[in-house]
Amino acid sequence: MKTLLNILFLLTFSISFGQNSFVKDSVIAFQKQINSEYADAKESPLLEKDLKKFKSLDFYPANENFFVLAKFVRTPDEKPFEMPTTTTRKPVYVKYGEAHFSIDGKSFKLNIYQSQDLKKIEKYKNSLFLPFTDLTSGAESYGGGRYVDLEIPEGELIPIDFNTAYNPYCAYNHKYSCPIPPQENDLAIEIKAGVKKFKK
């Protein structure tokens, strides 16, 4: 079950804070929750030596500019595929749709995926997965990209709050198997929001 958790870490929490406008308190609550999880020896992906000195993850300041209401385009005819990971594990996903949005006057598109395993679980049947890289990857943020957890929208818009972007467990511990963001989800912009690179 750990591999599922590292794919969609804090899924239930992040979805519970889903809204159609930026709320700074929700970002602060997200940061407190993820810090609480990482400080818990039973839940934390941190190595024992890192857990002993852990106080907080490093976050970008909450920034309204990185909350977007994207146009959601459903792609119902996509075929399931095996998404590469940091190990030999090949979880099956399907491209569920596309998010079209703009930041600082520039237009972007990201593919949104659905885990074919998680959708069979009642709790996660409406869960969507957004892995991405950007111009901060490998510098200020984790080189392997970051994730945002989403939920199937009811209409033609989907809220994406990059302030809740988090690192895969592999950023902290190589024993985990983490999906690698597809090349088409590489953003030509610095997403200065969410969790930064872990400083050991």
Paired tokens of 56: 């907080």
Of residues 132 and 10, more confidence is placed in: 132
Q: What is the mean pLDDT of residues 33-57?
A: 97
Report whether 97 contacts 191 (CB < 8 A).
no
**Could you read off the pLDDT of 16-25 as tens digits, one per residue?**
445 788 999 9
Question: CA end-to-end span of the chain, whole Å?
Answer: 26
Whole-number Cα distances in Å, 189 to 27, 103, 105, 107, 132: 21, 9, 11, 10, 11
Residue 156 makes CB contacts below 8 A (sequence gap 6+) with 71, 72
Amino acid in the structure at residue 40:
D
The CA distance from 163 to 182, in Å, is 21
Q: Backbone phi, then psi, for 126, in 5-degree steps? A: -105, 10
pLDDT level of residue 159 (50, 70, 90 thresholds): very high
Report whether 182 contacts 111 (CB < 8 A).
yes
**Could you read off the pLDDT of 114-141 as tens digits, one per residue?**
999 999 999 999 999 999 999 999 999 9
